[in-house]
Amino acid sequence: MDFYLNQVLHAFASMDARLLGELLDPDQTYQEVAQPVFVKKMEEIFEEFRKDGDEYIEVETGNCCELNCNPDLIRTAYRFVGNKTRNYLDFRFILEPTADLKDHCIKDIFECSFLRCHQRRDWYGIQVSLWICDDEKPGFYLSPDEVIYTEIALKAEQEILEGRDCFDLDEVQLWLDKYRSTFDFISHTHSENPGRILRWNSFLYFFEGFENYISFFRKWQNSLVVEAWRKDLDLPEEVLMEVIMDGEKIIIEEGHEYVYYLLDEKDGYRIPYHLKPITGKGADTFSGTWAWFRSRQEPLVKKYYALTECETTQYLESWEVADPESRLKSLTFHWEIREMAKNRGAEIPFGLGMGSQNHL
């Protein structure tokens, strides 16, 4: 029974994209894309599983619980789980019995957001998604210029990513200059058609990310932090607070508050981008000053910490701030709270800290 279906499940379990391509019907679409595109996407996902340390994928049976999703079709679904990471991918299989009722034909495979496993495990890792762009779907129209710039964008992204252990800012700047016209065309077209998800979007966001980091490093180089670090100044607390908050202002405005808990000494306090460290020019200056900055910032944050233990817990559990942990590591955050309390006539003792039971 189910010889064909079990072969396909085995291809998933062994992360064998070649076998999957041989088994799936080349004339059908899967998750709205042609079979070769679907197989190529799965090959990329299998490679990510392997890079993360998985040797094979375990197949867990389940059912789709979204009754509004193709209610007339069989609700069979499978969870594919990495044997080491426990990262997983949920797919619904649209099945039809064969004429002899001894096997099943697979009419479609697509991601399932409401899968319930028959025997759920105690824990899972990260859910993996199969990203399908609009221009990968059959019949989607792109203008001739869009086709050309798509190919340029894909080539450009491959060019900057392949064979690199790091992103050197000199090379990054040359790459940005080389593909500026491509970015300008894509950015303009994207703004006119914001609803489309195209293959060039990754190039667009990649390009914008580099420009953001270059802006961040440039501002950091001109900060009071770098000036004090270079001169090795022994500053009084009042002046040091101004220096620290100047650096924090740049971090906050440029959207890099995660650096408070991401950077590591063993990595040289390097900011990673697409899992590769950024080096050269302003990136070197930032990494060189980070230990100086943090060693002076942390005692000030501890001294002027403005939340009680209860308030801290409530703040961390709220959904009002995207990255609450990073805010708690900022002197600017606690100083602003104290200023607001002062303006309304409330007194916050210095050195309140997380262990205090005092309230505003």
* pLDDT tens digits along 78-97: 999 999 999 999 999 999 98
Q: Compute the average pLDDT of residues 207-235.
A: 95
Q: What is the pLDDT of residue 344?
A: 85
pLDDT at 357 > cutoff 60: no
Percent residues over pLDDT 70 in the chain: 96
Q: What is the pLDDT of residue 355?
A: 42
Question: CB-based burial of residue 157 (10 Å sphere; 0-12 exposed, 13-18 middle, 19+ buried)?
Answer: buried
Q: Compute the average pLDDT of residues 140-146.
A: 96
Query: pTM of this prediction?
Result: 0.79
Q: Compute the average pLDDT of residues 311-338.
A: 89
pLDDT class of 349 with cuts at 50, 70, 90:
low
Q: What is the pLDDT of residue 352?
A: 58
* pLDDT tens digits along 8-60: 999 999 999 999 999 999 999 999 999 999 999 999 999 999 999 999 999 99
Average pLDDT of the chain is 92
Q: What is the pLDDT of residue 353?
A: 52
Percent residues over pLDDT 90 in the chain: 77
CA dihedral sign, ordered 21, 24, 26, 32: negative
Residues in contact with 37: Cβ distance below 8 Å, sequence separation at least 6, in sequence order: 132, 136
Listed range (198-207, 284-293, 341-350) with the worst mean pLDDT: 341-350
How far is Cα 77 from Cα 65, in angstroms, rounded to an integer?
A: 10
Q: What is the pLDDT of residue 350?
A: 62
Q: Compute the average pLDDT of residues 113-129.
A: 92
How far is Cα 282 from Cα 288, in angstroms, rounded to an integer?
A: 10
Phi, psi values for residue 113, rounded to 5°? -95, -5
